[in-house]
Amino acid sequence: MISIMALKRTIKLKLGFRRFVIKPILATIIMAICSYFIYSLLLGIIAEKLATIIAIVSAIIIYALAVVALRVFTKQEIKMLPAGNKICMILEKLKIY
């Protein structure tokens, strides 16, 4: 079994704890709290199944926004996505990156 230290020496990959662990956990917490409150608010107003679907869709959107706001990905990583150049231009116009 290859240890993590041996792997880091071999491939010379820098995995920042803050960037790859702390920030995604923070984005997950933000998403969970927001989607819970959205579900709670909708539960008394609309049917339970519809409230669940809306909470799930909003959770996806909130997580994506939190990941962007916390700058989990670099510009180069965003540019590797499909339509990454357009996404990067939009984020630059919004002065996020």
Cβ contact 43:51 at 8 Å: yes
Whether 4 maps to a domain, the answer reads no
pLDDT at 74: 86
Whether 88 maps to a domain, the answer reads yes
Cβ contact 76:48 at 8 Å: no
Q: CA-to-CA distance for 63 and 37, rounded, in angstroms?
A: 14
Whether 10 maps to a domain, the answer reads no
Q: Most confidently modeled of 55-64, 67-76, 88-97? A: 55-64
Show the domain range for 23: 17-93
Where residue 95 falls among pLDDT bands split at 50, 70, 90? confident
* DSSP 8-state symbol, 46: S
Query: Whole-model pTM?
Result: 0.77
Q: What is the pLDDT of residues 33-68, one digit of tens each?
A: 999 999 999 998 999 999 999 999 999 999 999 999
Number of domains comprising the chain? 1
Q: What is the pLDDT of residues 13-26, one digit of tens each?
A: 676 777 778 999 99
* pLDDT exceeds cutoff 60 at 93: yes
pLDDT at 96: 82
